[in-house]
Chain A
Amino acid sequence: MASPPQLPPADDLYLTAHDTIRGKSLLSPATLGLGLGAALLGELVLWRRVDLVENQLVIIDERPTGDAATTAVLEQLRREAGQHGVRNWLAYLSTGIATDLVERRLARAGLIKRVEKRGLLGTKVSFVPADSMTAGWPATRIRTRVSRDEPLDVADLLLAGLILATGLDQHVLATLNARDRAGMFDQFRRLFPAMLQQLVAQAEASVGDAVMARRA
């Protein structure tokens, strides 16, 4: 059977961060937002639109990416270029903006479905994965590759890095043994571009920040 296609890292992270059946988030809204915000910024780096230089996001190409979510972020970056460091951008994107952009992108692609639940206190809108097999695939892919000593591509290294940064690894990478874990860490050091290493490290520090300030 063919494997589902590899999605953009933010979409894969979103699916990984949610229960594959009921769509319940495994992360707090703030942590999820930081992870998805970093993933979208990482996608812009992969699109060769943005560089991360000493904690500043520098636009190297203003053209739209052909994808609504990253183009929206790029447009914002362009409008307020040079005014804020990457930590502020992550904080901003984590206020629900990144989550919203990624949910829309996934819904457009038919990968998650909007569900309305009517309760006593009005209607609650949530998203559930359209197909639990697809939803579970990104994490499975990383586990399989890593345990077979196969190299992850840069997009999957970004995904795996953000899985660690958000603490999701306690859910989805817990089954990796020490040798596989060491192999994955080795890939981070050898194959993951320095700019993205910095981005993921900044996201991880932001998650820690949120814990200290009781926002997580």
Chain B
Amino acid sequence: MSSTATKPPGSQLSDALARDRLGVASIVFFMMSAAAPLTVVAGVVPTGLAVTGLTGIAIAFLAVALVLAIFSVGYVAMARHIANAGAFYAYVSQGLGRPVGVGASWVALLSYNMFQVASYGGLGAIAQPLFADWFGVDAPWWAFALAAWALVAVLGVRDVAVNGKVLATLLVAEIALTMIFSFAEIGADTFTASTAALDPGNLVGAGAGALLVMAVTGFVGFEQSVVFSEESREPRRTVPRATYIAIALIAVVYAFASWAMISAAGPTVVERAGAEGPELFFNLASDQLGSTALHLGHILFLTSLIAAAISFHNIIARYMFSLGREGVLPRTFGRTVPGTGAPKNGSLAQSALALIVIVAYAVFDWDPLVQLFFWGGSGGGLGVLLLVTITSFAVIGYFARHPEGEDVMHRVIAPVIGSVLLLVMTYLAIDNIAGLLGVEPGSTPALVVPLSFAVLAVAGILWGLILRSTRPQTYAGIGLGARSATTTGGFAAALNETEYPR
């Protein structure tokens, strides 16, 4: 069937717009570049093994994939009906009310920033020994983190889109390499197929919450598919298909790779993960593959971390742009550089925050791998889990009031099942936060991470309520992003000027 058969005959407009539209493959690539496979498999998984001592991560990836797929049924359905569908808070604003939406937007900003800054910690910690080995460079981890930071800051403010083909090539290479290394690990002498990694009993055990949050971390980026709702060839089919394919692909690659790694390391996997860190994944395969593959793996590991840093940086800059346009954040964030369309001020703010964090970690001599990369990643994972959960309830709320155009499966059944499962996951995660971070229950990190989300959520809700009584026009536009003609860019702000004191 030709693709033009479904359009009104001879519509030049439809044809011209269709030429620019995205297919399933481009959207899958985009989603997965934020997920950064090697960062998760070689970075998060071994560090998580060492910190938590839990080996059930493979089954956790599969379980989380299932829950997220169920969640996505309602999520992509709602994306078809609302503006600004790429941002969780847009769903929350429309489904559970605008004040809750503002709270969600602030939680989202914190979560994405935690991921973004975490990638600098990982990059510094991993680059340091590699550069010493390759070039004899003896520099502290933060020097490498700062170099990466500078690159991301410059690319971000100029909004240089890293060429789609480059990104796709790197991603395919990463996945291929992950699979090759995993197969090589199966061939290792110490390999004994692990049943612990795949035992569903892990999901009800004491460490279940920690495992689930670590697994969620691996999927972050999947929610970005709906950004392209209006850009895709057939929104009703392309976006859902891309979302499910990406979730399935991520689940299979991560579960297989982590199972192979845990199996190959044998019964001492937790001790080895503690001693070898991110090198564990590479060491286990190096006997079979030789040093060339090892170097290639290390290079791709670094590019994977940089790609993740860039991609989260861009997500944050656009989130702030969207909030600035709405007037929820200061209006200056709603401006772009005219020549490039780069959301400059959001980008600068993110870079400033990242710089402060890197410098603080360097000054106080905190551990970049565990305390920045892993804590940041897990904290961000917890934040995204909270957002996905509240968004799932927002989907139910929205369709209860706007049932038009979707069947019961999309409107009610899948969102309700998803919400229940997500609520259980959230409970387990918060209950198990100390185990996740590898600290004593009740100690500072175990309190600060969940409390910071709670404080931001409450502050956001309060700000939403303040906007309702002081700036009704701004309040009306919350959650509509840059797409709504009622929001406040330069011109719309001029029309709405009366609500501000001059």
Among B339, B481, B490, point to the contact of A28 (Cβ < 8 A). Answer: B339
Q: Which residues of A contact B321 (CB under 8 A)?
A: 208, 211-212
Among A80, A165, A207, point to the contact of B12 (Cβ < 8 A). Answer: A80
Nearest CB on B from A75, distance (A):
11
Contact in complex: B318, A189 (CB < 8 Å): no
Contacts of B475-489 to chain A: CB distance below 8 A: 481-487, 489
Judged by a CB distance under 8 angstroms, whether A65 is at the interface is: no
Give the distance in Å from the alpha carbon of A214 to the alpha carbon of B318 in the complex. 9
Judged by a CB distance under 8 angstroms, whether A20 is at the interface is: no
Q: Which residues of A contact B339 (CB under 8 A)?
A: 25-28
Q: Which residue of chain A has the shortest Cβ distance to B314 in the bound complex?
A: A214
Contact in complex: B495, A27 (CB < 8 Å): no
Judged by a CB distance under 8 angstroms, whether B165 is at the interface is: no
Contact in complex: B231, A213 (CB < 8 Å): yes
Q: Which residues of A contact B489 (CB under 8 A)?
A: 164-165, 204-205, 207-208
Q: Which residues of B contact A26 (CB under 8 A)?
A: 338-339
Nearest CB on B from A188, distance (A):
5
Which of the candidate stretches A41-49, A85-93, A110-118, A119-127 sits at the interface with the other chain? A85-93
Contact in complex: B17, A209 (CB < 8 Å): no
Contact in complex: A204, B338 (CB < 8 Å): no
Nearest CB on B from A36, distance (A):
14
Contact in complex: A164, B490 (CB < 8 Å): yes
Among B482, B486, B495, B497, point to the contact of A209 (Cβ < 8 A). Answer: B482
Contact in complex: B335, A209 (CB < 8 Å): no
Q: Which residues of A contact B325 (CB under 8 A)?
A: 208
Give the distance in Å from the alpha carbon of A25 to the alpha carbon of B492 in the complex. 24
Q: Which residues of A contact B336 (CB under 8 A)?
A: 167, 211, 216
Judged by a CB distance under 8 angstroms, whether B84 is at the interface is: yes
* Residues of chain B at the chain A interface (Cβ within 8 Å): 8, 11-14, 16-17, 20, 84, 86, 161, 227-228, 230-231, 314, 318, 321-322, 325, 334-341, 343, 481-487, 489-492, 494-495, 497-498, 502
* Residues of chain A at the chain B interface (Cβ within 8 Å): 25-28, 30-31, 76, 79-80, 83-84, 88-89, 91-92, 95, 97, 161, 164-171, 182, 184-186, 188-189, 197-198, 200-202, 204-205, 207-216
A selection of 11 A-B contacts at a CB cut-off of 8 Å is: A25-B339, A28-B339, A76-B12, A161-B494, A164-B494, A169-B490, A184-B494, A185-B494, A201-B486, A214-B318, A215-B341
